[in-house]
Chains A and B, each alone.
Chain A
Amino acid sequence: MTKHAGWWYGGVLALLVLTSLIALVAGTEWLGLSQVTWAVSHPASRAFVTIFSLRLPRILSSLICGGSLAVAGALFQAVFRNPIADPSILGISSAADFFKLGGAILLPWLPGRNWLMALVGGLIALTILTSGRALTDPYRLIIVGVALDATFVGLQQLLSSGAAAVSHSTFNGLTWSDTATLLGLGVLGLVVALILAPWANYLKLTDSALKNVGVPVNVLRWTLLLLGMYLAVSVTAVVGTVPFVGIVVPNVARRLVGHDYQTVLPFSMLAGAWLMLAADTLGRTVIVPSEISAATMMAVIGGPFVIILLQRGRGFHGMSTR
């Protein structure tokens, strides 16, 4: 933990509260704080409906999705020992998206269909990703991941061509039931991730060094990998693919609060939640009454970030041998 970690934690918490308040009052219709408090006691009013049925579920969903994606990214980076590994860039999310769409067409009667299908997709992508030599070679991992991602995006376009434009990766129109699903799945995964944070630290050592001290490397690796996959596909199941949160947030977190995953993971969770809420709120307020989806916002912010990270960073962890 760095000297300033406490300040950064305070800062991100303050930003979270502030942004949540702005998100509550801002939108197509701007409400003052007094109107918000008034609406609480008037459940029949239009303001009440706007706040409690539209904005609140959307705010909670963005927070939990941002937190989940950031933590999922950090876990993937720890396991793959690669600072740009992330479920969205490695094809896990697009596989989940593709299977979700396939499920909607083939198994419309299946209860919990979206999540189950997304999980199956995530598992299949993860199996392909880890079955070859990608696990031991950082360059191969990214190339295989990008190819996997392109394949599943293509398959998804193939499946959805002809269908009416599928609305994607947006927090617009989320219901309380969606929000409850996200909260249930997300909170469970995040709690487990925070408990297992020390494992991410152990994976900084080589496999043979870990075996020397009696640590079952593969148990650690697969637990964290499955956990990261679970967090990412849970978001995909409800919202769709949102890129780059998992890369941008943990990398900034490491700069701000240090290298220890016991600090990086909780900070990433908070910062990811904030970033997603900020992106979504900005997206739905800048060009009122239209809106930009959070996924698009993140692509615009995240793409350049990754380019800068790779062009100026000190290279893949797996490759540095100083």
Chain B
Amino acid sequence: MECQHVSYQYPRQTRGLNDLTGVFPPGQVTTIIGPNGAGKSTLLQLLARRLPAQAGQVVLNEQPLDQLTTKQLAQQVAMVTQHHQLYDELTVREVVATGRLPYHGLLQAVPANEVTPYLEMAGLTSLADELIQDLSGGQQQRAWLAAALAQEPAVLLLDEPTTYLDVHYQQQLMTQLRQLAAKGLTVIQVLHDINQAFRVSDWLWLLQDGQLVASGTPDDLRDAELLGRTFATSVEIVTVPHLGPYIVQVPD
């Protein structure tokens, strides 16, 4: 997936994205980082085509995203958001089954055998017939991720997937994302925890005020001066035993 001179301006706001060009390497985990209001979530919305690029284009496998039908898009790009609001009760099985909708007509039922593998993969088989509302935050997250994976996408987008998870589940999710990427899935996520981003990513996008400040491997971007300037604070990189380099903010 790739951005070619992508711009987007919110109506009546100064916020937006300005002429972004860069790649998201296939089969790798890319994390978009940057201060609040830098345009991280907006970029994710554009990659999912929930917002239209006003200039430039998002390209997937050499095909502009806006040339795909909604159904083709849903077979290529899946998204897991922060808020999984449901208006009414659904079971875990029914939620995961929605991920198969891109492969079926609107009046066709989703066959059970297409849903089972994703329930198993997420370790939710025993909870399949529970209402998703009755599950813990971590289990709900797993169910929505299973639904996204059921779309068999080439690109998986995640908007702050660790927000409602405790440390243990965060770790588990990141391990799972790495495994998926190893199998060829392109993972693009927004994370707030900068150290987590550096630890789990193959590739980073650093945004500031709607501009792409830098992109590269974590080693490329682990630069106190660059990070300090982008986040408007003083940054030092220390080495923690058993963990390696760690980015800390130092008081002025």
Contacts and interface: CB of A to CB of B under 8 A. Distances in A.
A212 B89 contact: no
Interface string B182-195: 00000000000000
A255 to B, nearest CB: 12
A213 B87 contact: no
B94 A213 contact: no
A78 B89 CA distance: 11
A68 to B, nearest CB: 22
B81 interface: yes
B106 A211 contact: no
Interface string B46-81: 001010000000000000000001111111001101
A206 interface: yes
Interface stretch (A23-31, A91-99, A103-111, A195-203): A195-203
Interface residues of B, number: 31
A259 B98 CA distance: 16
Interface stretch (A113-121, A265-273, A314-322): A314-322
A214 B74 contact: yes
A265 B230 CA distance: 56
Given A201-B94, A205-B98, A214-B101, A317 B87 contact: yes
A204 B89 contact: yes
Contacts of B72: 214
A12 B165 CA distance: 45
B74 A259 contact: no
B248 interface: no
Contact of B86 (A199, A205, A212, A260): A205
Interface string B121-138: 000000000010100000
Nearest to A215: B101
Interface in B115-164: 131, 133, 147, 151
Interface string A13-35: 00000000000000000000000
A213 B81 contact: no
B106 A206 contact: no
Given A203-B87, A214-B69, A214-B72, 17 more contacts: A81-B88, A195-B107, A198-B107, A201-B94, A204-B86, A204-B89, A205-B87, A205-B90, A213-B98, A213-B151, A214-B71, A216-B106, A259-B90, A260-B94, A317-B87, A317-B88, A321-B85
16 contacts: A202-B98, A202-B101, A206-B86, A208-B81, A209-B98, A211-B50, A212-B48, A212-B79, A214-B72, A214-B74, A214-B101, A214-B102, A215-B101, A219-B106, A259-B89, A318-B87
Interface of B: 48, 50, 69-75, 78-79, 81, 84-90, 94, 98-99, 101-102, 106-107, 109, 131, 133, 147, 151
Top-8 shortest CB links A-B = A214-B74, A81-B87, A259-B89, A204-B88, A214-B71, A214-B102, A213-B101, A317-B87
